[in-house]
Amino acid sequence: MPEAIFHRDNKIPLYHQVAMLLRTELSEGRFDIGAQIPTERELTERFAVSRITIRQAIDSLVQEGVLMRQQGRGTFVLAPPPRSTVTEFAGTLDVIETLGQSTDVRVLSTEYVPCPSRIAQDLRIETPQVHLLKVLRVRSSRGEPFEHLTNWVSPILSTQINPAELERRSLVSLLKERGVKVDAADQIVSATLTTPEVSEFLETPVGSPLLQGHRIYYAGGTPVMVLESLYRPDRYAYRVRLSAADPLLSEVWVSQTGQPRP
């Protein structure tokens, strides 16, 4: 019986859904390197999709360097998909600095723009039509982009940032040098879909699923910066370590930040 697992009415192209599933199976080691994967006909029957869809899915994995086609023989596993860049959240801001030092960042643009209402609320800005620094960047690991970042810096601090330094230094470290010590952050992680604006930079099709992070940085209780991040889930994983709040109440867990979790 075919596997009825795909959502044909959502915004993610059907071939990309197939490719993501095959990629997962490859990363889990279901096929050894050098092994032949099922034929297009077998995959068509398994997933109940057209042969064109299967061919497009395989093409995307071939372009990624995971699979290799051999004329007249079939398709073979060339290499396992690269492991995701894992960020372990341990309740401090040290991980932010570590991530910045171990990855490459490309600055796409820096400009002073009118503050959107959602950012004004985060930064507690009440003055209408205020301008602030907006920074667009892309973060890569081993030459592969995995994060699209949009930073909004408080108007009070925007003029203290030299855009030329942003490819070599994190905004947190630049603020620290200027006497602004970021000591806390609130973050929400959710899911979203790739838009045309970020598709090119993350090298992923429009409509593909992404992780979405919204982080507000504080210095002494005052919000100083907002970061909106988009992550490719096949290249990035977010890990949180939890510990039991009370050995006698094992169903109650807390993160390292001390916030109770059900």
pTM here is 0.64
pLDDT at position 202, please? 93
Tens digits of pLDDT across the chain (262 residues): 445 456 565 667 888 888 888 887 887 677 888 999 999 999 999 888 899 999 999 998 998 888 999 988 999 998 877 655 544 444 444 445 455 556 788 999 988 888 888 899 899 988 777 888 899 999 998 888 999 999 998 887 877 777 777 767 778 878 888 788 888 888 888 888 888 889 899 988 877 888 999 999 998 899 999 999 999 988 887 776 666 655 554 454 444 443 333 3
pLDDT at position 259, please? 33
pLDDT at position 262, please? 33
Closest by CA position to 145, among listed 105, 116, 183, 177 = 105
51-58: Cβ within 8 A, 24+ apart: 53/14, 53/15, 53/18, 54/15, 54/18, 56/15, 56/19, 57/15, 57/16, 57/18, 57/19, 57/22, 58/19, 58/22
pLDDT at position 250, please? 47
Q: What domains, with CATH codes, occur in the chain?
A: 14-77 (1.10.10.10), 85-243 (3.40.1410.10)
